[in-house]
Amino acid sequence: MNILLVDDHAVVREGYKALLNAMMPECTVLEAADGQQTHRLLKTHNINTLVLDINLAKESGLLLAADFLATQPNLKIIFFSMFEDCAILQRAMQTGAMGYISKSSPPDTLISAIKVVAKGQKYIERSLAVNLANQLLNADVDIAAKLTKREFEIFIATAMGKTRFDIANELALSAKTVSNALTVIKRKLNTIPAEFTELATKHGYIGKA
């Protein structure tokens, strides 16, 4: 099995790489710091399991996951995050990921998650799963649930400081379409674009500057 660790902190990658090498010596463990490096390794190696941080320095693992699965549909993604918010967990699993665990969990939790998803089964850390079940009783959990996939992409791009022209080019849309979408997003979230960055950071969709 080939495992790829994606985290923007080298010390975190090295620590868990050492753990995996010790606990699962039959596996090959690779590492990447961002989406670009990850895409490159996915093309050059047969990666079975991707352990992905949500809060990368300049990228959202939630958006990257969809890109990775689009090119590697059999890839098994486990989100490995400092965030224990159930809204983020719910959004993460909606990407098609197979697992979600907290960085505050015991080291053997990651081992267990990798072994479970390798069998094609989903794995959510027990305490997080319980909290998710409780919070799902509330209708208004996740800000992303209020947006369509396209609106969410535009929201994240705006939060990352991209102009509507940049977004239009990246998503193959007209600038007018992006502007119209921003109007809808503002209404749905009851906020303004200038506050998108703070909102996205608060909910763990993008890294802090």
Rounded Cα distance, 92 and 83, in Å: 11
21 and 100 together in one domain: yes
Quick one: 54 and 99 in the same domain? yes
Axis crossing angle, helix 61-71 with helix 35-44, rounded to the nearest 10: 20
CA dihedral 9, 12, 18, 23 (to 10 degrees): -130
Q: What percent of the chain has pLDDT over 70?
A: 90
The boundaries of the domain holding residue 66 are 2-135
pLDDT digits (tens, 9 = 90+) for 3-51: 999 999 999 999 999 999 999 999 999 999 999 999 999 999 999 999 9
Residue at a domain's end among 116, 135, 154: 135
Question: Between 177 and 137, whose confidence is greater?
Answer: 177
Regarding whether 8 and 77 lie in a shared domain, the answer is yes
Counted domains in the chain: 2
Predicted pLDDT of residue 146: 83
CB 77 within 8 A of CB 95: yes
Task: Average the pLDDT over 197-209 and give the result.
Answer: 75
Domain boundary among 103, 135, 167: 135
**What pLDDT shows up at residue 207?**
67
Instruction: Tell me: pLDDT of 59 over 80.
Output: yes
Domain harbouring 77, CATH code: 3.40.50.2300
Which among 133, 139, 81, 89 is positioned nearest to 110, based on CA atoms?
A: 81
How many residues are recorded in the chain? Answer: 209
Better-scored residue on pLDDT, 6 or 108? 6
Whether the Cβ atoms of residue 176 and residue 130 lie closer than 8 Å to each other: no
Is there a contact between 159 and 197 (Cβ–Cβ < 8 Å)? yes
Asked if 76 and 105 sit in the same domain, the reply is yes
Q: What CATH number should be reported for the domain holding residue 178?
A: 1.10.10.10
Dist. CA 176–CA 82, nearest whole Å: 37
What confidence score (pLDDT) does residue 77 get?
A: 96
Classify burial at 183, counting beta carbons within 10 Å of its beta carbon; exposed 0-12, middle 13-18, buried 19 or more. Answer: exposed
